[in-house]
Amino acid sequence: AQSVSQHNHHVILSEAASLELGCNYSYGGTVNLFWYVQYPGQHLQLLLKYFSGDPLVKGIKGFEAEFIKSKFSFNLRKPSVQWSDTAEYFCAVTLRNFNKFYFGSGTKLNVKP
Amino acid sequence: DAGVTQSPTHLIKTRGQQVTLRCSPKSGHDTVSWYQQALGQGPQFIFQYYEEEERQRGNFPDRFSGHQFPNYSSELNVNALLLGDSALYLCASSPTSLRETQYFGPGTRLLVL
């Protein structure tokens, strides 16, 4: 069965620190990859997505992610976090031509001011 | 432009009862997907509706059923509720041409006692 792993369940950083959240998936075929964010009290929102092309994807609010096919990974990065980045981050995968999303269990990021 | 709306926001039921949750998709979207998010977990795909038919289904029992209406709104029905059905139920909508771009609603929190 397909699965998405987010190994960091809870990350605590100080403002201006760099962020990298890991995401690995288990599927050998063509995939679409996503990062979603859920700010406290808000809906899930799309941060960025990768369908094809340049494996380095830039999203909103200074976030980026790199698709490394050989490692089945799609890690999320931000060079300098802000207190307002405190949220829960979810990695998700869909199989190409299918619309069934597989989500990871999420990583809670707490940025200390 | 209203986003995805869901009703009710909260619901308390007892074991064995039945529940119906409702979702109105974002304007212009014709595809609706439902997810279950248990506490501390990522969303789990239940099923997807398009053209009033179930197109994709996750690993959920037949107690979970749905419907899509001609105006694209959707209902999720759960019969014979179990304690383990307590979760946040999320609806997401997307347009046909970009079915991977899903917009999420705020969810309905169901508590089964």
Averaged pLDDT, A72-100: 91
**Which residues of B have a CB under 8 Å from any CB of A?**
3-4, 31, 33, 35, 40-45, 48, 55-56, 58, 90, 92, 94, 99-107
Contact at CB, A106 and B44, closer than 8 angstroms: no
Which residue shows structure tokens 């890991």? A22
Note the pLDDT of residue A76.
97
Per-residue pLDDT tens over the stretch A26-40: 987 888 999 999 999
The better pLDDT of the pair B6, A3 is held by B6
Q: Which residues contact B107 (CB under 8 A, 6 or more apart)?
A: A43, B6, B9, B37, B88, B89, B90, B91
Query: What residue segments make up the domains of chain B, in order of their start?
Result: 5-112
What percent of chain A stands above pLDDT 70? 96
Note the pLDDT of residue A94.
87
Q: How far apart are CA A38 and CA A87, in angstroms?
A: 6
CA end-to-end span of chain B, whole Å?
37
H or E, element range at B75: strand B74-78
Note the pLDDT of residue A98.
65
What is the pLDDT of chain A when averaged over all its residues? 92
Question: Using a CB-CB distance cutoff of 8 angstroms, which residues of chain A are in contact with residue B99?
Answer: 99
Query: What residue segments make up the domains of chain A, in order of their start?
Result: 3-112
CATH 2.60.40.10 is the classification of domain A3-112 = yes
Compute the count of residue pairs across chains A and B with CB atoms less than 8 Å apart: 57
Structure tokens at A57: 């994807």
Note the pLDDT of residue B1.
59
CATH class of B5-112: mainly beta
